[in-house]
Amino acid sequence: MSLQRLREEVLDANLELVQRGLVVFTFGNASGYDPASGKVVIKPSGVPYEQLTPENLVISDLDGRIAEGSLRPSSDLPTHLALYRAFPGVQGVVHTHSRYATAWAQAGVEIPCLCTTHADYFRGPIPITPSMEAGDIHSAYEWNTGQVIIRRFAGIDPLLTPAVLVAGHAPFCWGASVTEAAHTAVIVEEIAHMAYLTVTIRADAESLSDALRDKHFLRKHGSSAYYGQS
């Protein structure tokens, strides 16, 4: 993919967050990674979404060195870079402060797998990180946010569990493209809302059975998937 095409895709993903009601004002950001060039395209910091153009997005390398753009990149760039470096196959990252997913993050509770809608996308709970230590917050905070996510995913395939709640903060989502990552961010908010309503109606609601969870996940993912068109 050319960097111009990636710029356009990253712009579309950022605007999708607004259209879906996942961000307000200048909250949130989306980025895309091109492995061929080693470049990352990301939203500039603090710029209103209605002012975004492909040309004012910022391009950096995986070390955070700015390659193109006169504006400062999103302050969350180091978190995005940490995930690209640690999770092979991830080529898009999206961060929002969407209402219900953020509420679960504020509560410090993973989102349980309570329904088949959840299981269509995640083969189990959406994990939450531990709270960050003061030293990690005071030094290289955004980079260390990435590190706490990476540590939480020890033993977890990030391509099969493409989202996390950062405790006390908000969700990060990712995927094989920035378009896919934005789609996941929409799904995470919908799942978070439904889970909130479920536990409000019945606090002791049980997680989906393993059999039903796996059936819904595996019919959409993996070599034996049969959902949709080939």
The residues with which 39 forms a beta bridge, in sequence order, are 34, 61
Distance, in Å, from the CA atom of 36 to the CA atom of 57, rounded to the nearest integer, reads: 19
CA distances from 103 to 56, 99, 128, 192, 227 (A): 32, 6, 12, 9, 32
Q: Given 12, 120, 136, 214, which residue is catalytic?
A: 120
Distance, in Å, from the CA atom of 74 to the CA atom of 45, rounded to the nearest integer, reads: 4
Cβ atoms < 10 Å from Cβ of 113: 25
Say whether 120 is catalytic: yes
Q: Given 61, 157, 210, 227, which residue is catalytic?
A: 227
Q: Which pair of tokens denotes residue 38?
A: 């080693």
CA dihedral 222→36→40→49, nearest 10 degrees, is -70
Q: Which residues belong to the active site?
A: 120, 227
